[in-house]
């Protein structure tokens, strides 16, 4: 539960809204700018100056994902994602990494100015089919599960990192019959020049953690909490996309005329707008409360994430339909919303694997 009064929460959200307006502006039409290291650093500096990210590893400076700030963090990510989903993802992954590092204290990690951490929770197959769920639920594995952990989260298992970092990558690694937090210098990650379903405005990095450094053992309760945070954060970013879709579609429908009247008066367009609103309402309900992290709540949240990810994609597509044929062109923002919504749907793993993972969390 948030440890903020309603007044404090509204004040902080207004600060985040100003940050997004000043540093990002509205989602642009026309050609996209690659999210280069310099762009990432500029956005990071703006977030630091606004007090949204810590500057020097001081727990008192941490705003996003600080203790008792979960609900506010989801609202903040939604606000930023309505301007730029790539910026929201980068903000989430770096804030989560800072939070994890500060849990282990300054003795575990002394951050350098160039060492900006980013968190990568999943293997190439997301959380995997079953083994990680069994480990979270029971704390022990059979031989088949150990093999899956080695394949998906072992030291030589390749990973994809959708929020690139030139500093430090934190990730869970299965080695010597235990799951541990490892840190890997960002210099050891490789840029993937072409990719099919990432946030195309962010560089995508591939990495193999074999040369990383062990930081601390992973506790099942801590990892369950971080996974819960990850799935809700992705929903919050998706909610930001839906908010922007409704804004864009509503503005266009209120200006475009066809057959002598505004297209918002046509029943087909009104139905499209209603679909977008309905998706936003469902996301409001899903993000209204931040539950305690248990395997049951993690499974339930993941099922909701799977269901609503499809609704996010549908809402962004309906926005594109309101624009008609021109909405499919990269000169306008709806096409980008559709791409990012579909990328977000697979950010934590394929729907098939996530469904199996959620079921395994609750198997007795």
- Most confident residue range from 34-48, 111-125, 327-341: 327-341
What share of the chain has pLDDT > 90, as a percent?
40
What predicted TM-score, i.e. pTM, was given to this entire model? 0.91
Q: Are residues 88 and 193 in the same domain?
A: no
Beta partners for 190?
206
Query: Pick the residue with more confidence: 160 or 28?
Result: 160
Q: Are residues 355 and 226 in the same domain?
A: yes
Q: What is the largest CA-CA distance in the chain?
A: 72
Neighbours of 359 (CB within 10 A): 15
Q: Poorest-confidence range of 2-11, 160-169, 236-245, 269-278? A: 160-169
DSSP assignment letter at 72: H
Which residue's structure tokens are 């394929």? 350
Cβ–Cβ < 8 Å for 348, 230? yes
pLDDT reported for residue 211: 72
Query: Pick the residue with more confidence: 255 or 156?
Result: 255
DSSP codes joined into one string, 95-135? HHHHHHHHHT-TTT----TT--EEE---BTTBT-SSHHHHH
Q: What is the mean pLDDT of residues 127-147?
A: 92
> Whose CA is closest to 169, among 188, 186, 156, 152?
186
pLDDT reported for residue 247: 95
Q: Poorest-confidence range of 44-58, 220-234, 303-317? A: 44-58
Of 46, 75, 103, which residue constitutes the final position of a domain?
103
182 — pLDDT class (breaks 50, 70, 90): confident
pLDDT reported for residue 6: 81
Residue 57 lies in a domain: yes
233 — pLDDT class (breaks 50, 70, 90): very high
Q: Are residues 172 and 230 in the same domain?
A: no
Q: Are residues 240 and 346 in the same domain?
A: yes
Q: Are residues 350 and 229 in the same domain?
A: yes
197 — pLDDT class (breaks 50, 70, 90): very low
Q: What is the mean pLDDT of residues 3-31?
A: 77
**In the predicted model, is pLDDT for residue 51 greater than 70?**
yes
Query: Pick the residue with more confidence: 174 or 2?
Result: 174
Q: Are residues 44 and 16 in the same domain?
A: yes
Ramachandran angles phi, psi of 116, nearest 5°: -90, 120
Q: Are residues 261 and 131 in the same domain?
A: no
CA 333 to chain centroid: 20
Q: Are residues 237 and 182 in the same domain?
A: no
Residue 84 belongs to domain spanning:
6-103
Q: What is the total count of domains within the chain?
A: 3
Cβ–Cβ < 8 Å for 26, 83? yes
pLDDT reported for residue 191: 53
Residue 111 lies in a domain: no
Q: Are residues 150 and 54 in the same domain?
A: no
**In the predicted model, is pLDDT for residue 204 greater than 70?**
no
Q: Are residues 138 and 75 in the same domain?
A: no
DSSP assignment letter at 202: B
């Amino acid at each position: 539960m948030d440890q903020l009064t309603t007044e404090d929460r509204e004040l902080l959200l207004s600060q985040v809204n100003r940050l997004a307006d000043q540093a990002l502006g509205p989602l642009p039409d026309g050609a996209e700018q690659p999210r280069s290291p310099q762009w990432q650093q500029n956005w990071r500096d703006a977030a630091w100056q606004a007090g949204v990210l810590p500057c020097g590893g001081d727990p008192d400076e941490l705003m996003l994902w600080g203790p008792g700030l979960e609900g506010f963090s989801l609202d903040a990510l939604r606000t930023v994602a309505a301007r730029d989903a790539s910026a929201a993802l980068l903000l989430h992954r770096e804030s989560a990494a800072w939070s994890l590092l500060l849990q282990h204290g300054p003795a575990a990690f002394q951050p350098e100015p160039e060492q900006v951490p980013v968190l990568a929770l999943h293997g190439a197959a997301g959380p995997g089919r079953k083994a990680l769920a069994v480990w979270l639920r029971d704390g022990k594995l059979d031989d088949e599960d150990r093999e899956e952990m080695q394949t998906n989260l072992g030291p030589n298992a390749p990973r994809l990192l959708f929020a690139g970092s030139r500093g430090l990558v934190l990730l869970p690694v299965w080695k010597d019959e235990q799951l541990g937090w490892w840190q890997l210098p960002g210099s050891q990650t490789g840029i993937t020049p072409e990719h099919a379903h990432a946030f195309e405005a962010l560089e995508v990095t591939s990495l193999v953690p074999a040369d990383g450094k062990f930081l601390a053992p992973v506790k099942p309760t801590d990892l369950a909490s971080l996974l819960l945070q990850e799935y809700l954060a992705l929903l919050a970013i998706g909610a930001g996309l839906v908010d922007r879709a409704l804004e864009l579609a509503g503005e266009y429908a209120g200006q475009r005329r066809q057959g002598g009247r505004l297209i918002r008066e046509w029943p087909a367009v009104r139905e499209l707008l209603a679909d977008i609103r309905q998706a936003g309402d469902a996301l409001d309900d899903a993000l209204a409360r931040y539950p305690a992290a248990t395997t049951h709540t993690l499974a339930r949240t993941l099922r909701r994430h799977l269901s609503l990810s499809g609704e996010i994609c549908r809402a962004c597509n309906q926005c594109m339909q309101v624009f008609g044929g021109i909405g499919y062109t990269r000169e306008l923002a709806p096409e980008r919303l559709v791409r990012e919504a579909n990328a977000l749907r697979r950010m934590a793993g394929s729907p098939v694997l996530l469904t199996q993972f959620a079921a395994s969390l609750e198997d007795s």
